[in-house]
Amino acid sequence: MRNAALATALSFALVGCVSTRIHGTPPSAAPAPTTRPAAQDAPPADDMLNATVWYQTALERDLVYRTVYRAAAQRLPAALADKTWDALPKEDRTGSVKGLKPAIIVDVDETVLDNAPSTVRQIRDGADFDNKEWGVWVSERKAKPLAGALEFLGDAAKQGVTVFYVTNRDVEQTADTVANLRSAGFPVASDEQVLARGTALGGCAQNKEKSCRRQWVGRTHRVLMQFGDQVGDFVRIAENTPDGRRKVMAPYMDWVGERWFALPNPLYGSWESALYGKDDKTPAQRRTAKEAALDDAK
């Protein structure tokens, strides 16, 4: 009887085992081997998602912008009162400032106008920057004012300060830029206040370098302040490398937060090409250069 019972028990166990393998996963099944993500699941080489999401959604961005523009508003009375006060770098100031009317120079993109939706379109399309698509965005005139900019510049204009918008948008985009600035509420009494790349100023080298346009403003105005999101918005960069950028800024560090006011832009800029050189690099090459620039303090 004992042997018969044992045989019966073994028979049921075997049936249960077969049933488990047929109808379900055995409890002790080994986990599937871990595999590396497929290439298409990896982030693109020029992934701008985190920077763009921060720029569009983080309250901290607006707090930074408001802090900068409010700090400038506090300095404006002193700048107006001191008739020798000037915010142009020495290479851009030709002649005396005596008797000149007061002005402020601001960059446009990511300084007073928010163009992040254009970057969002790049992300959704899985595309790199494209001049044609950028032109479409500019023509739509949808860019909104950045926090604090409208209030500060409007108040400055009421005090007799002329605002010049020195931008590296192409001269063909001037009309759209003027219209966008005006519809957003910025003080633009004359179209001549918007100095795009390629604007005919007489004797000016028309390229991305803004020095010539700053000099043009300085012929008739005492520049109280400059605002921008790139080092080149303040001073000419002789050598666009991390060390070269620090070198040109070094003589003017006392002006930062007093005459020069920098705004954050993690989306794009000359700070990128300072890491990898010319813009003819592939996204993968640019990413490699950026990763090489990281410091993990080891």
Mean pLDDT of 112-118: 98
Looking at every residue in the chain, the average pLDDT score rounds to: 87
Mean pLDDT of 99-103: 97
Contact 223, 88 (CB under 8 A): yes
> Over 60: is that where the pLDDT of 11 sits?
no
> Over 90: is that where the pLDDT of 8 sits?
no
The pLDDT, as a whole number, for residue 136 is: 98
- Domains of the chain, with CATH numbers? 46-277 (3.40.50.1000)
pTM for the full predicted model: 0.84
> Over 90: is that where the pLDDT of 159 sits?
yes
Distance from C-alpha of 47 to C-alpha of 8, rounded to nearest angstrom = 65
Given pLDDT bands bounded at 50, 70 and 90, which one contains residue 7?
very low
Quick one: what percent of the chain has pLDDT higher than 90?
73
The pLDDT, as a whole number, for residue 95 is: 87
> Over 50: is that where the pLDDT of 17 sits?
no
Mean pLDDT of 222-243: 96
> Over 80: is that where the pLDDT of 35 sits?
no
Higher pLDDT, 35 or 214: 214
Mean pLDDT of 24-31: 46
Q: How far apart are the first and last CA of the chain?
A: 73
Q: What is the pLDDT of residues 122-146, one digit of tens each?
A: 999 999 899 999 999 999 999 999 9
> Over 60: is that where the pLDDT of 29 sits?
no
31-35, 72-76, 115-119, 240-244: segment of lowest average pLDDT:
31-35
The pLDDT, as a whole number, for residue 283 is: 87
Distance from C-alpha of 175 to C-alpha of 278, rounded to nearest angstrom = 30
Q: What does the H/E/C string look like for the chain? A: CHHHHHHHHHHHHHHHHHHHHHHCCCCCCCCCCCCCCCHHHCCCCCCCHHHHHHHHHCHHHHHHHHHHHHHHHHHHHHHHHCCCCCCCCCCCCCCCCCCCEEEEEECCECCCEECHHHHHHHHHHCCCCCHHHHHHHHHHCCCEECCCHHHHHHHHHHCCCEEEEEEEEEHHHHHHHHHHHHHHCCCCCCHHHEEEECCCCCCCCCCCCCHHHHHHHHHHEEEEEEEECCHHHCCCCCCCCHHHHHHHHHHHHHHECCCEEECCCCCCCHHHHHHHCCCCCCHHHHHHHHHHHCCCCC
User: In 79-88, which positions are buried (b, 16+ CB within 10 angstroms) versus exposed (e)?
Assistant: bbeeeebbbb
